[in-house]
A and B are shown apart, each in its own frame.
Chain A
Amino acid sequence: MRGLLKSLKWLNPKNFGVTALVIYSGAALAQDDVFSQYREMMGDDNPAIFVIEEGADLWREPRGPKKASLEACDLGLGAGVVKGAYAQLPRYFADTAQVMDLEARLFHCMETLQGLTPAEARRKPYSGKGDTGTELEALVTYIADQSNGQAIALPQSHPQEKTAYALGENIFYYRAGPHDFSCASCHRQTGKRIRLQDLPNLTEAEGAAAAYSSWPAYRVSQGLVRTMGWRMQNCARQQRLPELQAGSDAITALLVFMGVNAQGAEMQAPGLKR
């Protein structure tokens, strides 16, 4: 099945000759137009469905030293409740007294329920070059799919949830590295693009909603599902910063900032992206 999915890589802009197409048509045609046509063509078919199945299996399978499944994991709506949980994450958890995003919460449950060490739980959060998907990516895809169609509703009632938003905003504007970039360097204006890639303005509702509602997403050019946490890590890489870690406070805070800005928008994940 993976092999079949890989064949969809023809959509990779490198193979697709987008630049040539653009010149030929004589007008600047944003890549997004090409891919929105592709999305239309695909309809409801998203190769991520196979990853969703894989994630559902992983959720139910007894694993780790304690031979336990993750089904007793509390994602914020009570132990084992998956439906609608993703649309309300990150949130404050009383048992850890921390604001956690889904990935941090999954690590926590792998440790407490399945008996993994913190290092074991975090061994391989995101796919590298040539990988075909990680367990974390599959779990996140399954859980996010269970919030598809739900309104984004991050709780902001606990003081720590408010603090997380403020911290996320600070990180968003934090300039650093040899290029002086912050998140805001690319994501504070509306209607801009990098090369042909449209940039969402994450400081206002529409842009934040477009971004937040569509991750995790099946990346056709990479042949696998990427999570929002990976997207944060990859942005930090392009900022020339060190490696941002899955489940870290910085990712959680950034997701609270973005998710609260996207409040009320409908989740449409897993999305389909180039």
Chain B
Amino acid sequence: MTMNILKVLSLGIAAGLALAAHADNTEAVLRESMKPKNQARMDRIEQNALQTACSNAADTVANDKQARQLREAAQASVRYPANGKYLGDWRRGQMIAADGTGLQWSDDPKAANGGNCYACHQLDKQEMAYGTVGPSLLNYGQRGQSEAMLKYTWAKIWNPNAYVLCSHMPRFGDAGILTEQQLKDVMALLMDPTSPVNAELVHE
């Protein structure tokens, strides 16, 4: 009888600790709660230094020194195009911007990843199905066409944390989501005066 009560108690305590023990160990709970599927392996839940520092409600890194280090690391991560050419084909860029697939366990790992820009940004004047999580990029090319502007835009897409630490925009270049050519095509969509982002005329 006593043995049984003890058994029940110890079992109960062991099970009860499952949640309690992990209040400050979010990764361990996620590890127990998830299973790898297709291309989404368990290493996806392991955080890098940036992700750990930015996992808070304020989206800020409280420690100034650490914030500076993370921003500098983000700036240093940017690899500019080897041939110095920033702009590809805006038509291909348009398709990349509209494509929301890539890197999910439901996606074909052999297919090219999308950028899913329209999920969060307004771009093409005729595309009304745009999200509002990020700012509108309508007429983005009118902000300037200088080398500095090209470099800024490239770096912003490569790793947004170079400018806004703890940005919720993915590191499209740094994290290997888009290839250099894809980044150039998206750049062209943003910068080319004839692209639907900038042109006054209707493109058919």
Chain A residues with a Cβ under 8 A of chain B:
18-19, 22-23, 28, 94, 96-99, 159-160, 163-164, 166-167, 170-171, 173-182, 184-186, 188-189, 191-197, 199, 203, 236-238, 240-245, 248-253
Report the separation of the CA atoms of residues A270 and B185 in the bound assembly, to the nearest whole angstrom.
44
CB distance B168 to A241 under 8 Å? no
Contacts of A188 in B (CB 8 A): 57
CB distance A167 to B15 under 8 Å? no
Q: Which of B34, B55, B133, B176 contacts A243 (CB 8 A)?
A: B34
CB distance A179 to B16 under 8 Å? no
Chain B CB within 10 Å — which of A97, A171, A253 has the most? A97
Chain A CB within 10 Å — which of B13, B120, B176 has the most? B120
CB distance A192 to B34 under 8 Å? no
B86 interface hit (Cβ, 8 Å) = no
CB distance A175 to B57 under 8 Å? no
CB distance B170 to A178 under 8 Å? yes
Contacts of B32 in A (CB 8 A): 248-250
Contacts of B41 in A (CB 8 A): 242
B33 interface hit (Cβ, 8 Å) = yes
CB distance B19 to A164 under 8 Å? yes
18 contacts between A and B (CB under 8 A): A22-B129, A28-B128, A96-B12, A97-B13, A159-B20, A160-B19, A171-B26, A174-B27, A175-B55, A177-B44, A178-B103, A181-B170, A184-B59, A185-B168, A193-B132, A194-B120, A243-B34, A250-B29
Q: Which of A163, A178, A182, A253 contacts B177 (CB 8 A)?
A: A178
Chain B residues with a Cβ under 8 A of chain A:
12-13, 15-16, 18-20, 22-24, 26-27, 29-30, 32-37, 40-42, 44-47, 50-52, 54-57, 59, 103-106, 118-120, 126-133, 168, 170-171, 175-177
Q: Which of B45, B104, B120 contacts A176 (CB 8 A)?
A: B45
CB distance from B202 to the nearest CB of A (A): 11
Contacts of A248 in B (CB 8 A): 32-34
Chain A CB within 10 Å — which of B44, B51, B129, B176 has the most? B129
Q: Which of A195, A199, A237, A244 contacts B33 (CB 8 A)?
A: A244
CB distance from B139 to the nearest CB of A (A): 17
CB distance A175 to B104 under 8 Å? no
- 5 nearest interchain CB pairs? A248-B33, A97-B16, A250-B33, A97-B12, A243-B37
A250-B30 contact in complex given A181-B168, A243-B35, C-beta closer than 8 Å: yes
Q: Which of B23, B35, B130, B177 contacts A166 (CB 8 A)?
A: B23
A171-B118 contact in complex given A163-B19, A193-B132, A237-B105, C-beta closer than 8 Å: no
A240-B44 contact in complex given A167-B19, A180-B168, C-beta closer than 8 Å: yes
Contacts of A197 in B (CB 8 A): 131
CB distance B12 to A250 under 8 Å? no
Q: Which of B20, B36, B59, B119 contacts A242 (CB 8 A)?
A: B36
CB distance B34 to A19 under 8 Å? no
Given A175-B47, A192-B133, A243-B36, 14 more pairs with CB closer than 8 A: A160-B19, A170-B24, A173-B55, A174-B47, A178-B177, A181-B170, A191-B132, A193-B132, A237-B104, A238-B104, A241-B45, A242-B105, A245-B35, A250-B29
Kindly report which residue of chain A lies nearest to residue B167, judged by CB atoms.
Answer: A180
Chain B CB within 10 Å — which of A175, A185, A189, A242 has the most? A242
Contacts of A241 in B (CB 8 A): 30, 34, 40, 44-45
CB distance from B167 to the nearest CB of A (A): 8
Q: Which of A18, A182, A236, A252 contacts B55 (CB 8 A)?
A: A182
Report the separation of the CA atoms of residues A174 and B114 in the bound assembly, to the nearest whole angstrom.
23
Contacts of A250 in B (CB 8 A): 29-30, 32-34
Q: Which of A19, A171, A173 contacts B57 (CB 8 A)?
A: A173
CB distance B29 to A22 under 8 Å? no
CB distance A242 to B37 under 8 Å? yes
Contacts of A192 in B (CB 8 A): 131-133
